[in-house]
Amino acid sequence: MEYIVDRFEAGVALLEPAQGPLRTEQVDRAQLPPETREGDVLIREGEAWKVDAAATAARRERLRRRFSFPKRTD
């Protein structure tokens, strides 16, 4: 299952399922890869977590396009 890192609070990562806000998971930050950042897509493999770099890049691009404004031409 894929999760999105919503935020970090006091050494705990708050994760939301990528398919929708079913329930937030709290995971000790030490259990995540050290390069994990807010907004990353994580995959749980047994007890281990892995950053899905391709899914993270695609998600960031979708958000960038969604929230970018057209440049003015006047």
| CA–CA dist 15, 54 (Å, integer) | 18
Output the pLDDT for position 69.
77
Reply yes or no on whether the pLDDT at 7 is more than 90: yes
If we measure between CA atoms, which residue out of 56, 54, 35, 73 comes closest to residue 13? 35
C-alpha 13: how far from chain center: 10
If we measure between CA atoms, which residue out of 45, 5, 49 comes closest to residue 25? 5
Contact criterion met (CB below 8 Å) for 29 and 43 = no
pLDDT tens digits along 16-65: 998 876 788 999 999 999 999 999 999 999 989 999 999 999 999 998 88
13: confidence class by pLDDT, cuts 50, 70, 90: very high
Output the pLDDT for position 74.
66
| CA–CA dist 29, 73 (Å, integer) | 46
Output the pLDDT for position 68.
84
